[in-house]
């Protein structure tokens, strides 16, 4: 029982992992073992635990090799730390979880035919996005840090990670809701000749057009969140994080997530951009959404007036007086400069983050309930 308490208690901790005690490698090994365990569950129940659209994009054979490599690395870390006597309880937990994963078939679980229209949670999307985002953005944050002393497991990381988990697991329900609302409210406006004209544009021009249209829609929606008190209750959840890093952008109210996607994707559906451009747009949006919240400092030069960078978006999350209700754009910073809503400051980065007054409750559930329970 004490062993389990130590493992569970680890998730309540925050702060820097000290090098030389086996904590860093132990956390890496344990994280990989958890992902491998979740992966074997996805292999066993693909109709319920994988995302239909996503599984059309990846190679199952490649994922098997990635999973095998992760199991070997996790096992090597666990055994090595046990031999060296470093953080034995954590590495023992990692090895036990790996043993369960292997007992369930590991990377060799056969996947046959299965129904394609069942309710599902996006476990595969969670695994791949967590692994990819961690490898890419944590590395970028360590190589080009804005706040060098900021740890990976900073204060309130647990809350943002819970938002990350729920947002990924509910991807099926969110997509179903968004698609229904888009067809319901925008389907009448579809005009095939306009769609054909847009799809006839060169790829680069069509991509720039979709980014511009989407950002104008994002700007209007985003500004409404800030200027309409009722809508701010939902958006305040996103702004309540007091530490900016790659996972901070995951903190968002589920209803805001649905409403924003409908408000932006609805008109894009009407305009009828090609599938290739939509796919490219989703990649750009996904990267910018994570990168611009990251703990990163890079020299942007004149580009900072053209595109949204971490410098630009950090100001949007600031509780400094000069930053309130500023920097709404998601892709192109020049939109805010043209419309007079760009932050004007001699400083490159703000001093404080979060909502003014720090009134947001802690924890995922309380933050989801906040818009309905808050009393001014």
Each residue's pLDDT tens digit, 123-164: 999 999 999 999 999 999 999 999 999 999 999 999 999 999
Cα atoms in the 13 Å half-sphere on the side-chain side of 12: 5
pLDDT for the residue numbered 25: 92
CA distance 67 to 40: 9
Q: For 184-202, how does the pLDDT look when each residue is reduced to its tens digit (9 = 90+)? A: 999 999 999 999 999 999 9
Percent of the chain with pLDDT strictly greater than 70: 99
Q: Which residues pair with 353 in a beta bridge?
A: 318
Q: For 17-53, how does the pLDDT look when each residue is reduced to its tens digit (9 = 90+)? A: 877 777 889 999 999 999 999 999 999 999 999 999 8
CB 333 within 8 A of CB 326: no
Give pTM, 2 decimals.
Answer: 0.95
Q: For 44-93, how does the pLDDT look when each residue is reduced to its tens digit (9 = 90+)? A: 999 999 999 898 888 999 999 999 999 999 999 999 999 998 888 899 99
pLDDT for the residue numbered 57: 87
CB 127 within 8 A of CB 169: no
Chain length of the chain? 376
């Amino acid at each position: 029982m004490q062993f389990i308490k130590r493992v569970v208690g680890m998730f309540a901790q925050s702060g820097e992992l000290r090098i030389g005690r086996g904590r860093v490698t132990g956390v890496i090994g344990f994280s990989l073992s958890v992902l491998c365990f979740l992966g074997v569950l996805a292999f066993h129940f693909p109709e319920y635990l994988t995302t239909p659209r996503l599984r059309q994009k990846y190679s199952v054979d490649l994922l098997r090799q990635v999973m095998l490599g992760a199991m070997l690395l996790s096992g090597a870390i666990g055994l090595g730390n046990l031999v060296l006597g470093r953080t034995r309880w954590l590495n023992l937990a990692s090895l036990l979880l790996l043993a369960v994963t292997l007992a369930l078939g590991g990377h060799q679980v056969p996947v046959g035919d299965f129904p394609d229209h069942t309710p599902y949670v996006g476990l595969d999307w969670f695994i791949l996005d967590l692994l990819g985002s961690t490898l890419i953005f944590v590395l970028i944050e360590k190589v080009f840090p804005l706040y060098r002393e900021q740890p990976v497991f900073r204060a309130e990381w647990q809350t943002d990670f819970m938002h990350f988990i729920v947002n990924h697991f509910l991807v099926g329900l969110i997509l179903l809701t968004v698609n229904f609302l888009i067809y319901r409210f925008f389907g009448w406006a579809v005009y095939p000749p306009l769609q054909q004209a847009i799809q006839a544009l060169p790829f680069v021009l069509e991509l720039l057009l979709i980014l511009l249209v989407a950002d104008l829609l994002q700007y209007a929606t985003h500004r409404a969140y800030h200027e309409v008190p009722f809508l701010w209750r939902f958006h305040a959840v996103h702004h309540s994080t007091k530490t900016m890093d790659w996972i901070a952008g995951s903190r968002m109210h589920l209803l805001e997530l649905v409403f924003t996607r409908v408000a932006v994707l609805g008109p894009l559906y009407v305009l009828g951009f090609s599938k290739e451009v939509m796919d490219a747009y989703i990649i750009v949006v996904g990267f910018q959404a994570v990168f611009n919240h990251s703990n990163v400092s890079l020299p942007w030069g004149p580009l900072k007036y053209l595109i949204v960078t971490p410098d630009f978006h950090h100001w949007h999350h600031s509780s400094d007086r000069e930053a309130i209700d500023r920097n709404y754009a998601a892709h192109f910073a020049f939109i805010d400069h043209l419309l007079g809503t760009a932050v004007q400051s001699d400083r490159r980065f703000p001093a404080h983050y979060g909502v003014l007054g720090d009134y947001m409750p802690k924890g995922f559930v309380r933050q989801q309930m906040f818009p309905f329970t808050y009393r001014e």
